[in-house]
């Protein structure tokens, strides 16, 4: 199971800290919801394979209009990350947690989202588009190049005007676009906003079940402190009417998308059902 998380500078927590937390909480790995973040995944994986050593535990980011950091600032950041990892609760891993190169495209309209989608698809394992308006929700559901429609009810401006209906669900099924069920507001919001979000989640679940639509589940953590174990989130799902098994299946669905896309990006893949291979001569 995987959790899709925002990482620095889109949140306050680095990739390594989030991956370490996810591992302790029982996940196979994390999917980075990169917006402005551009982690150096190879360098991070090397650092984690080496036990979060100080001389290799680093990452790079791309922050628009930001001042370049000095070498001493960068080293200070590395030392802080490493210190935090070493002082945290120790956990004996059988394997290094997987870090999946993902992006969440956050734009105000389909025209701008389409341009970014074309650039990102070949570079990322997971490509998601944040919805939140009816127009963006429909655009994402109708794009075969999109893996996941995220936050269909909230969006980038928190207007909460987006909705999902049977037309969008059918489009998502046709184009293999998974709909995200965001448990974040169900566990972090309060009052009427929480109640309304839970009602929307249950309505969405009914549509997904009726049309057998693809879906994923996430608590959308904005830092390592907002992680919850799969068991905790399954219990939340049971309390709000989604069901434990249904929530577990939503986390497992991330695995299926990752496996599919990594295969499609492999050199042997040509098209669905067509792959490079050794030619066998007939006798």
Domain span holding position 17: 2-66+73-267
Q: Measured between alpha carbons, how far is residue 253 from residues 35, 129, 138 in Å? A: 22, 17, 21
- CATH label of the domain that carries residue 151: 3.20.20.140
The verdict on residue 81 lying in a domain is yes
Predicted TM-score of the model (pTM): 0.77
At residue 281, does pLDDT exceed 90? Answer: no
At residue 48, does pLDDT exceed 90? Answer: no
The verdict on residue 25 lying in a domain is yes
pLDDT of residue 182: 96
The verdict on residue 279 lying in a domain is no
Higher pLDDT, 27 or 82: 27
The verdict on residue 281 lying in a domain is no
The verdict on residue 280 lying in a domain is no
CA gap 244, 246 in Å, rounded: 5
Per the structure, how many domains does the chain have? Answer: 1
Task: Quickly state the pLDDT bin for 162 (edges 50, 70, 90).
Answer: confident
For tokens 């950041």, the residue is 77
Q: What pLDDT digit, counting tens, does each position of 268-279 carry?
A: 444 445 445 554
The verdict on residue 273 lying in a domain is no
């Amino acid at each position: 199971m995987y959790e899709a998380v925002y990482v620095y500078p889109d949140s306050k927590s680095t990739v390594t800290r989030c991956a370490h937390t996810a591992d302790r909480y029982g996940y196979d790995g994390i999917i980075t919801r990169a917006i402005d973040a551009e982690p150096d995944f190879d360098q991070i994986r090397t650092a984690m394979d080496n036990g979060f050593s100080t001389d290799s535990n680093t990452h790079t980011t791309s922050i628009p209009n930001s001042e370049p950091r000095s070498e001493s600032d960068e080293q200070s950041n590395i030392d802080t990350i490493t210190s935090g990892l070493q002082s945290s609760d120790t956990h004996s891993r059988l394997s290094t947690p997987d870090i999946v190169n993902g992006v969440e495209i956050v734009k105000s309209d389909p025209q701008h989202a389409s341009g970014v989608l074309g650039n990102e698809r070949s570079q990322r394992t997971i490509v998601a588009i944040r919805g939140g308006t009816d127009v963006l929700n429909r655009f994402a559901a109708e794009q075969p190049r999109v893996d996941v429609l995220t936050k269909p009810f909230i969006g980038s401006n928190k207007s909460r005007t987006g909705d999902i209906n049977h037309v969008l669900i059918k489009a998502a099924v046709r184009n293999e676009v998974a709909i995200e069920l965001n448990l974040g507001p169900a566990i972090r919001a309060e009052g009427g906003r929480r109640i309304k979000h839970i009602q929307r989640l249950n309505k969405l679940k009914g549509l997904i079940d009726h049309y057998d639509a693809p879906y994923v589940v996430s608590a959308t953590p904005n830092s390592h402190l907002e992680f919850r174990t799969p068991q905790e989130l399954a219990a939340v799902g049971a309390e709000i009417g989604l069901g434990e098994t249904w929530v577990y299946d939503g986390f497992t669905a991330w695995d299926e998308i990752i496996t599919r896309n990594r295969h499609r990006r492999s050199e042997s893949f040509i098209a669905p059902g067509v792959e490079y291979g050794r030619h066998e001569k007939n006798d």
